[in-house]
A and B are shown apart, each in its own frame.
Chain A
Amino acid sequence: MHGLVNKGLERFLADTYGQATWAEIAAAAGLPPDGFEALLTYDLALTTNVLGVASSRLGKSEHALLEDLGTYLVSDPKMDSVRRLLRFGGIDFADFVSSLDELPERARLAVPNLNIPEVLVQELGPDEYRIKVVSDFGHFGVILAGILRAMADDYGCLSLIEWSSDAPAHETIHVQLLDGTYAEGKAFVLSAEAAP
């Protein structure tokens, strides 16, 4: 698993549950004291390990942790660069959702060895989408569901997002847009310098 994803998980756990708790989790999962390095690649087992340790230490299911991770990546002010890069994906939430199949290509453009699983987007009707994800990690769709919830908020769009899985590592996210102008979205100007 790419270090960026692992570093995201580390920052999420450290920020949400405290540096001391993260240090305990990291030590118990067999991580070096400096934690993950964003530019290196790690064995998938290490990520799974951290997740398992965090889940039992915090008394939260892995599913819940991963979805919170997705939300954190978009909505935490410290992660604004991730939010901004995602916002380049569409001018409104519908545009963003329908271009999710470009996500792996976008990720590779930013970080050439960052392999995001293929995402399949089907339009079921106006304002209704089905997103299918198949990943080695097996839970990528859960993170994506968290990202989608936070991005809907970011665009100011009221929507219904449901995650399900019919087979191991096969995940489906059902997205229904209820009101595209539900709230004032967060501002997005193209330039990072001009951004408030």
Chain B
Amino acid sequence: MTEATPTLRLTLQTLDAVMPMHMVIGVDGVIRHVGPTLRKVLVGGDLVGTSFWEGFEVVRPSIKPDARGLDGYVNTRMRLQYRHDAGLGLRASLYPLGEDQGFLMTVSFGISVVAAVAEHELTGADFSRNDPTVEMLYLAEANAAAMREARRLIGRLQIARDTAEDASLTDPLTGLRNRRGLESEAAERLRSGQLFTLLLLDLDYFKSVNDVHGHAAGDAVLIEVAERLKNCVRPADVIARIGGDEFVLLVNPPLRNAQTLALAQRIIGAIEAPVVFEGAACRVSASAGFVVSNGYEAPLLEEMLRDADAALYDAKMQGRGRAMVGTPAGTGAQAPVQN
């Protein structure tokens, strides 16, 4: 035996408090009552006494029910477009009130609730007491604040990382690449198969500058040599200081040997011009050895440096201020290609 469902009698006032976004619509399709929050949102005139179809378009379901009235929409998820405000889309459900009393339509903002709350300046009083919408808005706002803080932190970390990376690849005295900087530049060229000339320079008489004029003079010479090197090559070429007075140039595309020799002579000439430090003229020169990466089957920076260093040693033996081309040594090495 089943008991009859008890009939519930609700006043519109209670309904307004429980469900501030609803409409009561008669069987004739005329709106009889609009809940307080919905009234606030539906700008453009009082809808009570007007036809539902005049105020709203049912966007979904797009296949309209056969029945011309609202009956066909009972138990359907509806999406409405308010005709007086193109920006206001609503979700709705329709429930029959029985005994020819028409329908109760419950309405919500759906996912656009955050925008709708901003647009209509809604407050906590516009939602029913137990509506978790307010908690959802709290969460959205808290989340936005936390994301702002996270973005700030990421920005600071990014700067710190860039600075640290830059510092770790740069020689602090001259601002040139340091050994790690050179390794990273060479690795990039070797990985991408770019050919290049590696020129190794070693200053001559640098020790005596340090001995006679002091380390500050030595530093001034290194800084000046770095400047002059920059003036001898193109901006895209890599210049590194890899030891006390050892410099390396990576020039790509590679030069012909004759061109490299000419470049080396130009560099040596530039370095030989005296550097004036606190009134004293400090004079240094340089010797150079170079190799070209296409002289190797599988070039490695360490091998190229070693072969360039051997040529540099020969250059020093033949008197200073000279440049020599190196010979790729080791297994699988070939003679340098003469262009």
Contacts and interface: CB of A to CB of B under 8 A. Distances in A.
A194 B118 contact: yes
Contact of A85 (B117, B122, B124, B142): B142
A170 interface: no
Contacts of A194: 117-119, 121
Interface stretch (A49-57, A140-148, A150-158, A184-192): A184-192
- Residue from A39, A189, A191 with most neighbouring chain B CB atoms (10 Å): A191
Contact of A110 (B122, B123, B139, B150): B139
Contact of A84 (B125, B141, B143, B150): B141
A192 B121 contact: no
B121 A110 contact: no
Interface in B104-145: 114, 117-119, 121-125, 134-135, 137-139, 141-145
A106 interface: yes
Q: What size tier do the contact residues of chain B reach?
A: 20 to 34
Nearest to A86: B138
B137 A88 contact: yes
A91 interface: yes
The list of the 10 closest CB pairs from A to B, nearest first, reads A110-B142, A191-B118, A88-B138, A193-B118, A191-B117, A194-B118, A194-B121, A91-B124, A189-B121, A81-B145
A190 B123 contact: yes
Contacts, number: 61
A160 B123 CA distance: 27
A15 interface: no
Interface string A80-121: 010011001001000000000000001001110000000000
Contacts of B143: 110
A109 B153 CA distance: 20
Given A38-B149, A39-B149, A39-B153, A192 B144 contact: yes
A164 to B, nearest CB: 31
Nearest to A7: B149
Interface of B: 114, 117-119, 121-125, 134-135, 137-139, 141-146, 149-150, 153, 156
Interface residues of B, dominant DSSP: helix
A37 interface: yes
Contact of B122 (A37, A106, A189): A189
B114 A191 contact: yes
Contacts of B137: 88, 190-191
A110 B139 CA distance: 6
- Residue from B118, B134, B150, B156 with most neighbouring chain A CB atoms (10 Å): B118
Given A110-B143, A194-B117, A85 B123 contact: no
Contacts of A85: 138, 141-142, 145
Given A38-B153, A39-B150, A88-B137, A191 B142 contact: no
A191 B150 CA distance: 21
Given A39-B149, A191-B114, A111 B123 contact: no
B117 A106 contact: no
Interface in A1-54: 34, 37-39
A188 B124 CA distance: 9
B4 to A, nearest CB: 39
Contacts of A34: 156
Given A38-B153, A39-B153, A192-B144, A109 B118 contact: no
A32 B54 CA distance: 66
B330 to A, nearest CB: 49
Interface in A52-85: 81, 84-85
Given A38-B153, A110-B139, A191-B114, A88 B134 contact: yes
A37 B146 CA distance: 13
26 contacts: A37-B153, A38-B153, A39-B153, A85-B142, A88-B135, A88-B138, A106-B138, A109-B135, A109-B138, A110-B139, A110-B142, A111-B142, A111-B146, A189-B121, A189-B123, A190-B117, A190-B122, A190-B123, A191-B118, A191-B121, A191-B137, A192-B118, A192-B141, A193-B118, A194-B118, A194-B119
A37 B139 CA distance: 22
A67 B150 CA distance: 28
Given A189-B122, A191-B118, 11 more contacts: A34-B156, A39-B153, A85-B145, A88-B135, A109-B139, A110-B138, A110-B142, A188-B124, A191-B117, A191-B137, A194-B119
